[in-house]
Amino acid sequence: MPKKAFKIIYDKNKIEFKNFKDLIKKTKYIFCNTQLELDFKEIEEIFLNEENLKEKVKFIGGIIATEPEPIKPETVELLELAKISTEEKFKGIIVVSFGTLISTKNMSVDLFQKYLNVFGSFKNYSFIWKFDFDNEKEDIKKQIPVPKNVKIQEGYIQQTTILNNELTKAVITHCGINSLLEGVYFQIPMVCIPNNSDQPYNAYAAELRGYVEEVDFRDENLEENLKKALEKVLNDEDWKENFESNTNELKGRMNKSKDEFIQAMKEMIGNQ
């Protein structure tokens, strides 16, 4: 890793500089909100071959994704509505969520239309799209016809509860780490459309490891690429078999991570 990546950081009062390497040496445990299997193989090999790192670094990604909240009446109603909204025989639900940090309020009209074109072409599936509108987008929603099989939900939805439902067959996500971990834990095939921050890194690494299919929203062939990616995660039996095998193993590791985290915290508290 380049030395510039280890630049000094501030302490909590921003008075004294700390060298990152020295800080790491003095740290008992480092908890990482990810799982090694979702990273590049080269990164995984570094951690697996360094005994001091294996003892110090604990990968606990997914420990908060293990318990979906009880289903609410409005979610039951949404799922029932989705079942009767397709033009052809209903095959399942596809969840669309681009996170909370980058609001869909900033989505262009052109991009909004392209997504609707793709979703509307999957006539056997209902799309539940978490979308935040401002006043301008409210007008756009009225101007652009929304396909019958697309249910646009403003604000909060019970995402983990819906992912855990047997009707859900895929999720389209921005590939923030928590969304990626949720998809893996609930074993829902994912199409990732990253925007910024850690999302492009997560999507690229996860695609190489067989957990997702990545699509670039900036590509001029977005509609074609998104259709192909959805077709693959929904219908390619080889891809689905590999995904199921990978997520079965990783889900078990996530369940163990919670116990490891609790044990490490008990150890730290006991040493005080």
Give me the tens of pLDDT residue by residue for the chain, a chain 272 residues long. 344 433 444 444 444 545 666 777 778 888 999 999 999 988 888 888 887 777 888 899 988 876 788 999 999 999 999 999 998 999 999 999 987 655 576 788 899 999 999 999 999 999 999 887 665 555 566 778 899 999 998 878 899 999 999 999 999 999 999 999 999 999 999 999 998 889 999 999 999 999 999 999 999 999 999 999 999 999 999 999 999 999 999 998 888 888 889 888 888 887 55
What value, to the nearest 5°, has the Cα angle with vertex 62 and ends 59 and 65? 160
CA-to-CA distance for 18 and 238, rounded, in angstroms?
49
Q: Where are the domains of the chain?
A: 3-64+249-270, 73-247
**Residue 260: count of CB within 10 angstroms of its CB:** 16
What value, to the nearest 5°, has the Cα angle with vertex 178 and ends 172 and 184? 65
Torsion of the alpha carbons at 180, 184, 187 and 188, rounded to the nearest 10 = 10
Element spanning 92, H or E = strand 92-97
Strand partners for 126:
93
The predicted structure's pLDDT at residue 265: 87
The predicted structure's pLDDT at residue 194: 93
Q: Strand pairing of 92-97 and 57-59?
A: unpaired
CATH code given to domain 73-247: 3.40.50.2000
pTM: 0.86
Nearest to 199 by CA among 63, 94, 62, 98: 98
